[in-house]
């Protein structure tokens, strides 16, 4: 069968609290993506869904994902 995207494989190997039960995505993986993602809440949620696929199957984790988007700031990228 087809292999999952690298971000999804990495997400399923994290040992944080599971947020997305359908795809086994942890809060650790979600936080890592959010820290590297700037933009509006909607853009950041779309980035999560695109990279990790969380929130794209049954939708039961969407309230938690939206909360994490609001409360996890993007880390400022260092400028030379």
User: How do residues 15-42 score in pLDDT, each as one tens digit?
Assistant: 799 999 999 999 999 999 999 999 999 9
Residue 74 lies in a domain: no
Q: Is residue 31 within 8 Å of residue 52, measured between CB atoms?
A: no
54 within domain boundaries:
yes
Q: Is 20 helix (H, G, I), strand (E, B) or coil?
A: strand
Per-residue pLDDT tens digits for 40-78: 999 999 999 999 999 999 999 999 999 999 999 998 765
User: What is the extent of the structural domain holding 39?
Assistant: 6-67
Q: How many domains does the chain have?
A: 1
- Residue 80 CA to residue 76 CA, distance in Å, equals 13
């Amino acid at each position: 069968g087809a292999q999952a995207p690298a971000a999804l494989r990495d997400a399923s190997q994290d040992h944080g609290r599971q947020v997305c039960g359908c795809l086994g995505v942890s809060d650790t993986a979600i936080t890592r993506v959010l820290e590297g993602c700037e933009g509006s809440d909607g853009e950041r949620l779309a980035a999560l869904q695109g990279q990790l696929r969380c929130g794209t199957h049954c939708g039961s984790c969407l309230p938690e994902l939206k909360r994490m988007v609001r409360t996890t700031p993007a880390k400022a990228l260092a400028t030379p």
